């Protein structure tokens, strides 16, 4: 990163770094509600990053995109999740399969991998935000890691949504966003998905008396 980077790009890079930081924070966070807050914060940062990109490039659909992010990932989804946690009365700490420090270490390795994988591609990008592609990939991977290590259904969903954030960041950073129709479709899918999941949580709790996914290990072959 040399000094020739314009301010806006520096800003976006900053936001991207914050998103990565938040991803790590989510990985380390034990409490569900805090996790949802972090997720909302991550969405907000993403929204801001998109907004900066929109202002810089002047592309209209990036504004829509930012608006969509704000509506969906900062307000609606966290709200739904929040309601679910309250209604389902999810209490206590989130237990991880692997302890947190180890997870963090693995996360670090993943970030290195992600950066290395993204490096040759970033160099090809002509957008001002190209550096963030590696970060986006890292966020996706960290979200993945979170889904692997967490044992509550709801945290898996948060991880899943965080992954979407990473993807969104990638779309923004590498290409200034996907075509509008696609973004709308993605947003719709995510929304419907979360609603269906919400329904699911109730059914799962009815059937298993818990949202712990360790109860759901009966279908197996060995």
Partner 1 sequence: MTSLLSIDILLTAACAWGVVGLLGLVAPRNTHFISKTLFPLGALVGVLVGLASLGSLGGPAQTAVLVIGLPDLPFHLRLDNLSALFAMLLGFVAAGISIYAAGYFRKGEGTAPGVLCLEYHLFLASMLVVLLADDAYAFMVAWETMALSSFFLVTTDHRHEEIRRAGFLYLLIAHIGAIAILLSFGVMTGGAGDYSFAGMRAQQLSPFWSSAAYLLALAGFGAKAGLVPLHVWLPEAHPAAPSPVSAMMSGVMLKTAIYGLLRVSFDLVHATIWWWGVMALAIGLVTALFGVLYSTVQSDMKRLLAYSSIENIGLIAVGIGLTLIFHAYRMETLAALAMTAVLYHCLAHSAFKSLLFLCTGSVLHATRERSLGKLGGLIHRMPWVAWLALAGVIASAGLPPLSGFVSEWLLLQSFLFSPGLPHPWLNMVVPVAAALVVLVAALAGFAMVKFYGIIFLGQMREPGLKDAHDAGTWEKFGLAWLALITLLLGILPSTVISRIDAATQQLLGTGLAAKLKEQGWWMLAPISPERASYEPLIFLVTIAATLLLGRWLVRHLYHGRVRRTTAWDCGYYFQGPRAQDTAEGFSQPIRRIFEPMFRMQRHFPTARDTEPYYSVKVEDHFWYWLYLPVARLAGRISTLIVTLQGGRIAVYLMYSFITLLVLLLVARP
Partner 2 sequence: MDFFILMLAIPLVSGALLTVVGERAWAPNLNIIASLGTFAAAAGLTIEIVANGPRFAFGEQFFIDSLNVFFVALTAFVGLTTSIFSGPYMKNEREHGRLTAPRLRLYKGMYQLFMFTMLAALTTNNLGILWVAMEAATLTTVLLVSLYRTPASLEAAWKYFILCGVGIAQALFGTILLYFAAERVLGASGNALLWTHLIDVKGQLEPTIMALSFIFLLVGYGTKVGLAPLHNWLPDAHAEGPTPVSAVLSGLLLNVALYAILRCKVLADGAIPNAFAGNLMIGFGLFTLLVAAFFLSRQKDVKRMFAYSSIEHMGLITFAFGMGGPVANFAGLLHMTMHSLTKSAIFFAVGHATQKTGTQLMADIRGLIRINPLIGWGLMLGTLAILGMPPFGVFASEFMILTHAMKYHPWATPILLLGLGVAFAAIFGKVQPMVFGETEARRLPHAPAITPVFLHLGIVLTLGLYIPPYLTRWFHEASRMLG
Pick what 145 binds: partner 2, partner 1, none; C-beta below 5 to 8 Å, kind-dependent: partner 1
Give the whole-angstrom CA distance, residue 30 versus residue 77.
20
Alpha helices, DSSP H only, in the chain? Answer: 7-28, 32-57, 60-69, 77-88, 100-122, 132-149, 153-175, 180-208
Q: Of 180, 176, 171, 122, whose CA–CA distance to 8 is shortest?
A: 176
Are 156 and 143 contacting, i.e. CB atoms less than 8 angstroms apart?
no
Interaction between residue 167 and partner 1 (CB under 8 A): no
Which C-beta is closer to partner 2: that of 51 or that of 171?
A: 171
170 binds, among partner 2, partner 1, none (CB under 5 to 8 A by kind): partner 2
Q: Which of residues 175-204 bind partner 2 (CB under 8 A)?
A: 175-176, 178-182, 185-186, 188-189, 192-193, 196-197, 200, 203-204
Based on the shown chain and the rule CB under 8 A, indicate whether residue 26 belongs to the binding site for partner 2.
Answer: no
* DSSP conformation letters of 86-147: HHHT--SBPPBSS-HHHHHHHHHHHHHHHHHHHHHHHTT--STTTTHHHHHHHHHHHHHHHH
Of residues 144, 167, 208, 210, which one binds partner 1 by CB under 8 A?
144
Identified binder of partner 1 from the candidate list 14, 71, 80, 113, rule CB under 8 A: 113
- For partner 2, the binding residues (CB under 8 A) are 59, 117, 120-121, 124-126, 137, 140, 144, 147, 153, 156, 160, 163-164, 167, 170-171, 174-176, 178-182, 185-186, 188-189, 192-193, 196-197, 200, 203-204, 207-208, 213, 216-219, 221-222
């Amino acid at each position: 990163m040399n000094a020739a980077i314009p301010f806006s790009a520096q800003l976006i890079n900053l936001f991207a770094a914050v998103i990565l930081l938040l991803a790590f924070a989510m990985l380390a966070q034990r409490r569900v509600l805090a996790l949802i807050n972090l997720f909302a914060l991550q969405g907000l940062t993403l929204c801001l990053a998109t907004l900066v990109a929109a202002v810089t490039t002047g592309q209209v659909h990036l504004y829509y995109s930012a608006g969509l992010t704000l509506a969906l990932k900062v307000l609606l989804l966290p709200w739904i999740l929040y309601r679910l946690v309250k209604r389902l009365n999810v209490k206590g700490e989130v237990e991880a399969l692997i302890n947190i420090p180890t997870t963090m270490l693995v996360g670090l390795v993943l970030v290195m991998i992600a950066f290395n994988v993204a490096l040759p591609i970033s160099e090809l990008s002509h957008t001002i935000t190209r550096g963030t592609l590696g970060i986006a990939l890292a966020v996706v991977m960290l979200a993945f890691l979170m889904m692997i290590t967490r044992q509550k259904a709801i945290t898996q969903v948060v991880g899943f949504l965080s992954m979407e954030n990473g993807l969104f960041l990638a779309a923004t950073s590498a290409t200034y966003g996907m075509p509008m129709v696609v973004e709308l479709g993605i947003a719709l899918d995510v929304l419907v998905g979360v609603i269906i999941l919400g329904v699911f949580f109730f059914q799962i709790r009815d059937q298993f008396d818990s949202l712990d996914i360790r109860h759901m290990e009966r279908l197996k072959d060995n």
